[in-house]
Amino acid sequence: MEANMEADLQQLTRILQLALYSPYQGERTKATTLLLARLEKASLTLGDLDSSFLVPDAEHLFRQRAGMPYDFEVSLKSREEALLYSGLLQRSASVSVHWLESHRLQCRASQADKQTADGLFEQLLPSLQRQLAAAQQQAMKEYQTRRQVLFDQAVTQELQKFRP
């Protein structure tokens, strides 16, 4: 029984190495999926195979080191900021974004895609905020103009009721 367990650990360690270091993305993806399933079935953890995975969120670290996508949530200040972030992140075909609320997103992306989107977002945010402020001022001007026209029409209609 002990020899069988040792052989299983060696095989799982080889799968771990394949998941982390294969030059082929498809092979890393298959090895990652297989390893996680086999670990769960054997009631083992990544830390049992490699002590560098003895951390609170070992699966996240493993997926990151293997270059696999991982899930994360982003909360932004506004719907418009969320639209910008979503658009930047979705430039990659392997990314998925789901809206939780008007300003909260649930995302699945590789670490590289997330870092690229984060960097671009920080770069574009000041410009977006300036444009939003200008759009808000324009909307208020248009609102005031439209409000005045509608109020004038209401007064004119009331005055027409009393014309001889």
- pTM for the whole structure: 0.63
Q: What CA–CA distance (Å, rounded) separates 141 from 93?
A: 40
pLDDT digits (tens, 9 = 90+) for 100-116: 999 999 998 887 888 89
Higher pLDDT, 117 or 162: 117
Q: Are 103 and 78 in contact (CB under 8 A)?
A: yes
H or E segment and range at residue 115: helix 111-160
Q: What CA–CA distance (Å, rounded) separates 49 from 136?
A: 56
Q: What CA–CA distance (Å, rounded) separates 92 from 109?
A: 9
Q: What CA–CA distance (Å, rounded) separates 104 from 81?
A: 10
Look at residues 83, 123, 87 and name the one whose alpha carbon lies nearest to residue 103.
Answer: 83
pLDDT digits (tens, 9 = 90+) for 48-75: 999 999 888 888 889 888 888 878 899 9
Name 104's Cβ contacts closer than 8 Å, sequence gap at least 6.
Answer: 73, 74, 75, 76, 82
Tokens representing 35 are 């390893």
Q: Are 100 and 106 in contact (CB under 8 A)?
A: yes
Cβ neighbours around 109 below 10 Å, total: 21
Q: What is the pLDDT of residue 60?
A: 81
Q: What is the pLDDT of residue 69?
A: 80
> Among 15-29, 55-69, 118-132, 147-161, where is mean pLDDT lowest?
55-69
Look at residues 113, 105, 98, 114 and name the one whose alpha carbon lies nearest to residue 79.
Answer: 105
